[in-house]
Amino acid sequence: GRLRTAACRYRHRRLAALAIERNCARVEWAVLDWNALAVGFYERLGAQAMSAWTVYRLDGAALRRLAAR
């Protein structure tokens, strides 16, 4: 509800302030594309989707194989 949204906005504001304080150029995070509520929330914050990027995951057997090399 509204309380959760307010708490999220506060946390994102604090994260942005910390990033500025530490001279970070940006903050990035991941969101599932089907999560319209989260996508809308982040867009209202001013975030932009990075459509040129693809997320890769290494897990299970492939992760173990790489670790063993």
Active-site amino acid positions:
42
CA distance 33 to 25: 24
Give the DSSP per-residue string, 11-65. Answer: HHHHHHHHHHHTT-S-------TT-HHHHHHHHHHT----TT-------HHHHHH
